[in-house]
A and B are shown apart, each in its own frame.
Chain A
Amino acid sequence: MRYTPHRPNEIDEMLRTIGVSSIDDLFKDIPEQLKEKAEGAFQALSAPMTEKELSFYMDNLADENYDLFEVVSFMGAGVYPHYVPSVVDTISSRGEFYTAYTPYQAEASQGSLHVSFEWQTYIARLTGMDVANASMYDAGSATAEAVYMAIRIHRGKRNKVIIASTLHPEIKEVLKTYLEPKGTIIEEIRYDKETGRIDVEHLKDLVDEDTLAVIVQSPNFFGIIEDEKDAVEITHEKGALYIATILEPLAYGLIKPAGYYGADIVVGDAIGLGNYPAYGGPGVGFLATRSKYIRQMPGRLVGETTDVEGTRGYVLTLQTREQHIRRAKATSNITSNHFLMALRATVYMALLGRTGFKKLAYVNYKIAHYAKEKLEAIEGVEVPFSGPFFNEFTVKLPVSAQHVFDHMAAEGIYPGVPLHRFFGPAYENYMLIATTELHSKEDIDGLASHLLEVIKNG
């Protein structure tokens, strides 16, 4: 392929205008030794392909994957595959959206800016918060940025972050990386082995005047909906900020959002809202907060204004927080975010509306509870946690979860995510199972019957 449209005679004409005799003359400023090495290295790269050749080549590579339509998958653990309506693909494949850049020139970017304003409103409403930014990379980096924000709000005077042990293990890892240079101490709240919820008494013991924030994920990594009311109260008693994380925001179509309980910052990922699982990325992080903290937010923010004629329009606003103005003193270094995925989520929420979104949330809840009942009926299978859940739950099997996974994968079923992957041998028999509207009743019955079979055969 090539995408350079120059005719040879045009190149000659351009060189004459510049006043040089060859393209090589334009690279006189680069040391010879660098040019030689580069030439050698690039000559060793492969020969070009036509579009047809590329298409066939990629088709073969694609065949090396088993996608989620070829298997029946009950994997969640942060990425929950949902049905993506055609409207979403239709809108997001418009070149006007996906081949634009960050809307620096507002008058030429009203489409993107208008959508971002809608997304900010949707996210604020979904999470029960006042304001939201124009998006983040993902829930992991968004959670870390929320802690940076909390550090700014406390003016660096507090140095401890308390996190739920039931937070997604990969978010914990991201926090560890981001907070190391700050020297922030991270402590974990134990979880109650009965309910699968954080131990609120332990939170009470941990939180003190040096605590800058408490981070709780709900539904948590085990699928359990946390008791956020008490957690927020305890956090606020010591003047710390409550950061809520959610990886399946569809749940907020059914359950009260963290904002309702008084969270200070809500972060999460909308990969499940109109986006594809995409092998884990790109999803789209979000960050919502209270109005009073708006100037401490990281990332792009779109605001409403008018033009010279009084016509309503949208612009990037409060840019003095950002790196291109504040440089080393910026609230974050983020510039590109995940606009296109935020657009998809916005169109998705618009299409479903309150009626569709609420119903879909309930259907997800119902399918998961049906699945839980089916699996629990199998002898030897336990549902170890009594806490309420949304569309994901943990089971304890009489055999190794990996053993079950391997047997069922061979039959075209991913029964869930074995938890030893994250927590080691103590969780050898634990499996995390997620269900969504993509599953039929037969899929769930099939999961139960295959599981019964594998257990019977040991």
Chain B
Amino acid sequence: MADKILEYLIFELDGLGESTYEVDDPIGDDFSVDVPEELMRDDLPFPDVPEVEVVRHYTRLSQLNFSVDTGFYPLGSCTMKYNPKIHEHVASDARFAMLHPYQPDEDVQGALAVMYHLSELLQEITGMDAISLHPAAGAHGELTGTFIARAYFRHKGETQRHIAIIPDSAHGTNPASAAMAGFDVIEVKSNEKGQVDMDALREIVGKYGDEIAIIMLTNPNTLGVFEENILEIAELIHGVGGLLYYDGANLNGILGMARPGDMGFDIVHLNLHKTFSAPHGGGGPGSGPIGVKEHLKDFLPVPTVIYDEESGMFKLNYDIPHSIGRMRMFHANFLVLLKSYMYIISLGGEGLRQVGRLAVLNANYLAAKVKKYFPIPYGELYKHEFVATGKVLKDQGVKTLDIAKRLIDFGVHPPTIYFPLIVSEALMIEPTETETKYNLDMYAAALETIFREAHENPEMLHSAPNNAPIGRLDDVKAVKQLKVVYTEEE
């Protein structure tokens, strides 16, 4: 298919020496057993590659990745902050990593203590009444939350509630999760400030009334703008018996400064791999705990962790009266929880407040520098992130995609692009609190350079990146000549 390659596929390394991995037989030759012929597999098409070449192959591949550990990564809505190394060190300790999910509670008191205390801390941080650590990721938490809303209304006999109201600026997961829980999605538009248009919302509420199940909001929203009317929105939705769902992807922008529970939200999900510094792992594992108010406590998934006064022990609790059931096997993404627990207790209350405050300082500072070249259509104050537009380079024939690809050449990661959908040629930038002023200045300078290049030499931007491990990749070809597994005959 290709003339040139960047790195072999492991399958192409077959025959490069022998496999050197040794497997011993602890039982020995005194005992033998046959495998029934009809069950036996003939061939296992895996390559045999010596250990040294396996290590080199994956080490080389790692070097083709951009990461937080290699540079500034202001990917909007993803909160790419620094991931402390002590967390990785502790999480690889056998006393945490080598635990079986069915061990008796009394033998895993350390693990259960972590889960119990983390639940309590997240309760305080969000202002909610109960927490479940069960969901595996943010979107999984959302799904859990929408299932809880569904179960709650069915329990109350309000099965006519089929509407989920979602702003046009929302993450794509919101409508997707709502649809999976059987809700019909009604989009509410944003006003000129980038916030929920209250007139449009009142109209929807007036029209659908008790058909409304939930409104799903991100606050600050995906434009990085705080929904100033949040208390009024809560009143409006609660007024018709609906629930407020909080998408916690953007919590970093208000950490310690406002709590979703106080805003009136009934259900909250968190992304521990965003706000609470568990690494993103190249796309997971995440962890998406959810928090609920008192009236929804009895619908949480199982299990939760409780403290039993009598025995003085932490225990897994499966006794939740109207539980929606399980969303996954076993208890939670425990090792991810462990990292966020360490983050929270080592920063302490004041340290967490500083996270929120400095994340916002960084976002506003970078916004002030960037908007000289790339306007920011919505908002004056930003929280964790801001969304600029690349459409000013339209006359030069330069697109946001070109800007993003060119940024790679400057040794930084591009922002999230073409999202949210309500900003054309969107550049969504979230610097996080762990970046120095110097890095922000360099990023702004890179964008300024690109702005100039667009006027002087737009062709060069179309071919970017030029200093990356690989040139611009052909997405269309990937779909048209679809190839998702390696085959030998080529």
Contacts and interface: CB of A to CB of B under 8 A. Distances in A.
- Interface bin, chain B: 35 or more
Given A1-B351, A174-B327, A90 B182 contact: no
B58 interface: yes
B484 A302 contact: yes
Contacts of B66: 96, 100, 105, 108-109
A155 interface: no
Given A305-B473, A339-B281, A313 B6 contact: yes
Complex A-B, nearest 5 residue pairs according to Cβ-Cβ distance, in ascending order? A280-B330, A95-B69, A45-B349, A280-B101, A64-B110
The CB with the most chain A CB atoms within 10 A, among B19, B226, B463, is that of: B19
A292 interface: no
Contacts of A392: none
A417 B285 CA distance: 27
B451 interface: no
Nearest to A355: B19
Contact of B94 (A23, A69, A314): A69
A315 B27 contact: no
Contacts of B7: 110, 114
B223 interface: no
B484 A301 contact: yes
A11 B473 CA distance: 40
Given A105-B413, A336-B284, A358 B328 contact: no
A341 B479 CA distance: 26
B161 to A, nearest CB: 13
B445 interface: no
B99 to A, nearest CB: 4
The CB with the most chain A CB atoms within 10 A, among B27, B78, B181, B485, is that of: B485
25 contacts: A1-B84, A26-B364, A27-B357, A30-B257, A39-B256, A41-B127, A55-B90, A78-B330, A98-B281, A109-B64, A115-B58, A131-B484, A177-B325, A181-B150, A281-B330, A281-B335, A282-B333, A306-B477, A307-B470, A312-B2, A324-B172, A336-B139, A351-B21, A353-B49, A366-B32
A446 interface: no
Given A42-B256, A118-B9, A327-B172, A354 B44 contact: yes
Given A112-B282, A356-B23, A75 B100 contact: yes
A301 B326 CA distance: 26
A194 interface: no
B95 A257 contact: no
Interface in A1-50: 1-7, 10-11, 13-15, 17-20, 23, 26-31, 33-35, 37-39, 41-50
A125 interface: yes
Interface string B329-355: 111111110000010111111111111
A18 B182 CA distance: 45
B360 interface: yes
Interface in B108-139: 108-111, 113-114, 121, 124-125, 127, 136-139
Interface in A47-67: 47-51, 53-55, 57-58, 61-67
A202 interface: no
Interface string A262-302: 00000001000000111111111000000000100000111
Nearest to A372: B33
Interface stretch (A79-87, A204-212, A234-242, A376-384): A79-87
B155 interface: no
B486 A439 contact: no
B90 A78 contact: no
Contact of A339 (B3, B258, B282): B282
B324 interface: yes
A87 B55 contact: yes
B413 A27 contact: no
Interface string A230-261: 00000000000000000000001111110010
A334 B110 contact: no
A122 B297 CA distance: 42
Interface string A344-370: 001101111111111110110111011
B26 A174 contact: no
Given A354-B46, A421-B102, 12 more contacts: A18-B364, A34-B259, A48-B346, A66-B108, A99-B279, A131-B484, A170-B329, A276-B98, A279-B96, A309-B471, A338-B285, A363-B23
The CB with the most chain A CB atoms within 10 A, among B58, B69, B331, B416, is that of: B58
A415 to B, nearest CB: 12
Contact of B468 (A27, A87, A108, A325): A108
Contact of B33 (A6, A27, A303, A366): A366
Interface in B10-34: 10-11, 19, 21-28, 31-33
A423 interface: no
Contacts of A29: 225-226, 228, 381
Given A305-B475, A315-B478, A327 B175 contact: yes
